[in-house]
């Protein structure tokens, strides 16, 4: 039975909630999108979040797979940024419940508004000082319906009938299974993860395994680098370990693999892509960002996710995406999609992390682009080009890639391959592949272990490339429209202009005919006299632009 004797939970007045919901909904409807007060509490840097900075977590829990139940605590150490603050926001999603919150072993009052819980501190919070609270919680967490897209806990069993359990919570939020400051702008500096599991099972989490308490079967992991909340994970199963050493840019890196007992031999073959991935991505992006915490692949009962230093794998030991080539070119079967894509997130998602969910394309666009950079490294630029252009067929152009800020709202799923093709187009504009590589490496060095906005990424690429790219980013990220080169061709005269574009869009193009021509269309008609009469022109396929002939 839960100990609730020291807990004070005060429900917000029902009428107040209704009024606030009406205000938020009315404002949202005017923008053709409905958001709630809960969206704002989750997605914005509220006053109750802004005044304190995360320093350390110790997540200490017990997982009971038979009852699909978890219980335990999260110790939160923080630094005070503003004085005279007494209320602190912690997030935890129903049906999980906070049992009590303490500071210096004294119970604190908690005012709950849905999934946001406001802790009323009694001790004076002095600026620049560090303090600790401990949040005790328990319950049956949300069960994942279609992990990792609809995440939570996946409660499965392996072919031997043993429990096979894992967490996934991107988008949904880490607060679906543990209490934390559930906003991406503030990453904890380091973290301990202690998980007690039934005898005969092992827990694998992020970072390095410090010890195993054999009496309680508790696994103690430690993450020494900053980590975003959704990157934290628990994986429980009848695991077998194998590993290898990789001589990388920062020295010797441990590559550790945890797979189910019956899949060991298949994994030894399939996971050969891991060191190949590391070699290619260190070339393109710079050193692996978490040498101190090792790199792990951990088998799970769902497709996979980019959990930091604990990348989860469920691609059934097949090439491509569950045996399919997402590009339709054949090149997608040259690698295991989950190993390459999810590990690519170690640089874009875990090293460089978006501040707001609206900018999730920074994670997914760059990482989808990493797939073709892997091919570039091993099979050449033409193969990589075939692949990334082949993925355009997956783009729907249903809505902008960037979502709505401050309400935990992601943009279109086009963030993957529209984002990748935007980056491929920018590489084409830059012309110099060595400079492009240095820009990618420079991003990971400049924003090492930091949270960023799209604007910061845009400014960096524009400055380092020496090309004004603001209109290019606006077109591909903030509209759902692909530029169209509208043209007329008569005798040896070409008339052309852009349509379906924002004001001021004038991205240069290379067109192919008898000879190449470099043009810079605008929305105003321009004329080019060609050297010879040709039946038609084509746009260099490396530019993500469509064409429409008028005659």
Mind listing the pLDDT tens digit of every residue in the chain (551 residues)? 333 333 333 343 333 333 333 333 333 333 457 999 999 999 999 999 999 999 999 999 999 999 999 999 999 999 999 999 999 999 999 999 999 999 999 999 999 999 999 999 999 999 999 999 999 999 999 999 999 999 999 999 999 999 999 999 999 999 999 999 999 999 999 999 999 999 999 999 999 999 999 999 999 999 999 999 999 999 999 999 999 999 999 999 999 999 999 999 999 999 999 999 999 999 999 999 999 999 999 999 999 999 999 999 999 999 999 999 999 999 999 999 999 999 999 999 999 999 999 999 999 999 999 999 999 999 999 999 999 999 999 999 999 999 999 999 999 999 999 999 999 999 999 999 999 999 999 999 999 999 999 999 999 999 999 999 999 999 999 999 999 999 999 989 999 999 999 999 999 999 988 789 999 999 999 999 998 889 999 999 999 999 999 98
Within a domain: 470: yes
Domain boundary among 237, 272, 294: 237
Tell me, yes or no, whether 308 lies in a domain.
no
> Is it true that the peptide bond before 352 is cis, omega within 30 degrees of 0?
no
Are residues 115 and 175 both part of a single domain?
yes
On whether residue 259 sits in a domain, the answer given is no
Residues 102 and 211 in one domain: yes
Question: Phi/psi class of residue 317: alpha, beta or left (left: φ > 0; alpha: ψ in -120 to 50)?
Answer: left
Please indicate, yes or no, whether residues 413 and 521 belong to a single structural domain of this protein: no
pLDDT of residue 151: 92
Is 111 domain-assigned? yes
Q: Are residues 511 and 438 in the same domain?
A: no
Question: Where on the phi/psi map is residue 200: left (φ > 0), alpha (ψ -120 to 50), or beta?
Answer: left
Terminal C-alpha separation, the chain:
78
**Cα–Cα distance, 56 to 451 (Å, whole number):** 17
Longest dimension (CA), the chain: 88
Q: Same structural domain for residues 226 and 359? A: no
DSSP of 204-225, one letter per residue?
E-SSEEEEEETTTTEEEEEE-S
Q: Render 150-208 in DSSP notation, one character per residue.
A: B-EEEEEE-TTS-EEEEEE-TTT-GGGTS-B---TT--BSEEEEEEE--TT-EEE-SSE
Query: Last residue of a domain, which of 478, 512, 530?
Result: 478
pLDDT value of residue 26: 35
End of a domain among 237, 265, 291? 237
Looking at residue 526, which CATH number applies to its domain? 2.60.40.1910
CA distance 291 to 306: 16
- Are both 98 and 214 inside the same structural domain? yes
CA distances from 438 to 106, 433, 443, 461, 466 (A): 53, 9, 8, 10, 13
How many structural domains are present in the chain?
Answer: 3
For residue 91, being part of any structural domain is answered with: yes
Half-sphere exposure for 223 (CA within 13 Å, toward CB)? 33
Say whether both 138 and 200 belong to one domain: yes
% of the chain beyond a pLDDT of 70: 94
Angle, CA of 48, 49 and 54, to the nearest 5°: 135
Verify that 52 and 91 share a domain, yes or no.
yes
Number of C-beta neighbours around residue 495 at 10 A: 15
Task: Give the integer Cα–Cα distance in Å for 158 and 160.
Answer: 5
Give the H or E element holding residue 275. Answer: helix 273-285
The reply to whether 164 falls in a domain is yes
How many angstroms separate the CA atoms of 36 and 29, rounded? 11
What is d(CA 69, CA 532) in angstroms, rounded to the nearest whole number? 75
Instruction: Give the per-residue pLDDT at 532.
Output: 83
CATH number for the domain that contains residue 117: 2.60.40.1730
428 in a structural domain? yes
Q: Are residues 402 and 508 in the same domain?
A: no
pLDDT at 13: 38
C-alpha distances (whole Å) from 15 to each of 94, 201, 541 are 21, 48, 58
Q: Are residues 472 and 489 in the same domain?
A: no
Judge whether 375 lies within some domain.
yes
Q: How many CB atoms lie within 10 A of CB 492?
A: 14
Q: In 250-402, at which residue ranges do the beta strands (DSSP E only) sit?
A: 251-260, 295-299, 304-305, 311-313, 352-354
The CATH number of whichever domain residue 422 belongs to comes to 1.10.390.10
Give the structural domain span for 102: 8-237
DSSP state of 92: -
How long a stretch of residues is the chain?
A: 551
Q: Are both 415 and 508 inside the same structural domain? A: no
* Domain shared by 415 and 535, yes or no: no
* Residue 135 token pair: 């949040």
Q: How far apart are CA 234 and CA 226, in angstroms?
A: 17
Q: What is the dihedral of CA 298, 302, 308, 310, to 10 degrees?
A: -10
At 473 the three-state DSSP class reads helix
């Amino acid at each position: 039975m839960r100990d609730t004797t020291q807990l004070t939970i005060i429900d917000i007045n029902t009428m107040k909630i209704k009024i606030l919901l009406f205000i938020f909904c009315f404002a949202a409807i005017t923008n053709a999108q409905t958001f709630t007060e809960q969206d704002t509490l989750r997605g914005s840097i509220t006053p109750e979040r802004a005044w304190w900075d995360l320093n350390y977590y110790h997540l200490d829990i017990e997982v009971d797979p038979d009852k699909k139940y978890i219980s335990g605590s999260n110790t939160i150490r923080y630094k005070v940024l503003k004085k005279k603050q007494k209320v602190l926001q912690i997030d935890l999603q129903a049906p999980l419940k906070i049992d009590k919150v303490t500071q210096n072993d004294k119970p604190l009052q908690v005012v709950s508004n849905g999934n946001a819980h406001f802790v009323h501190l009694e001790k004076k919070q002095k600026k620049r000082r560090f303090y600790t609270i401990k949040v005790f919680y328990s319950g049956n967490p949300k069960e994942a319906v279609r992990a990792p897209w609809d995440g939570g806990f996946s409660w499965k069993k392996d072919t031997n009938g043993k429990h096979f359990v894992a967490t996934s919570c991107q988008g949904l939020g880490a607060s679906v299974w543990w209490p934390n400051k559930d906003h991406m702008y503030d990453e904890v500096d380091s973290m301990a993860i202690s998980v007690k599991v039934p005898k005969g099972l092992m827990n694998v989490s992020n970072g390095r395994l410090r010890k195993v308490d054999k009496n309680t079967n508790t696994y103690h992991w430690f993450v020494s680098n900053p980590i975003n909340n959704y990157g934290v994970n628990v994986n429980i199963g009848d695991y077998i370990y194998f590993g290898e050493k990789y001589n990388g840019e920062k020295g010797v890196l441990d590559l550790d693999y945890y797979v189910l007992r019956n899949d060991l031999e298949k994994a030894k073959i399939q996971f050969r892509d891991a060191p190949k991935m590391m070699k290619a991505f260190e070339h393109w992006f710079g050193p692996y960002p978490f040498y101190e915490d090792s790199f792990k692949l951990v088998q799970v009962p769902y497709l996979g996710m980019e959990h930091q230093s604990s990348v989860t794998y469920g691609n059934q030991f097949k090439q491509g995406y569950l045996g399919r080539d997402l590009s339709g070119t054949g090149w997608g079967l040259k690698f295991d999609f989950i190993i390459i894509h999810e590990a690519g997130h170690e640089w874009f998602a875990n090293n460089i992390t978006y501040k707001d969910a609206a900018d999730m394309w920074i994670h997914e666009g760059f990482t989808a682009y990493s797939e073709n950079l892997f091919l570039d490294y091993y099979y050449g630029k033409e193969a990589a080009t075939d692949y990334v252009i082949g993925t355009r067929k997956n783009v729907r152009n249903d809505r902008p890639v960037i979502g709505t800020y401050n309400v935990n709202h992601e943009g279109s799923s086009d963030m993957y391959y529209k984002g990748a093709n935007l980056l491929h187009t920018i590489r084409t504009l830059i012309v110099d592949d060595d400079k492009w590589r240095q820009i990618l490496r420079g991003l990971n060095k400049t924003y090492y272990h930091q949270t960023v906005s799209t604007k910061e990424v845009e400014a960096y690429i524009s400055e380092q490339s020496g090309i004004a790219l603001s209109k290019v980013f606006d077109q591909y990220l903030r509209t759902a429209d692909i530029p169209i080169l509208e043209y007329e061709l008569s005798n040896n005269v070409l008339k052309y202009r852009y349509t379906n574009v924002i004001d001021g869009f004038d991205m240069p193009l290379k067109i192919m005919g008898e000879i190449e021509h470099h043009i810079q269309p605008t929305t105003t008609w321009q004329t080019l006299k060609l050297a010879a009469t040709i039946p038609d022109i084509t746009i260099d396929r490396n530019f993500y632009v469509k064409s429409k002939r008028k005659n």
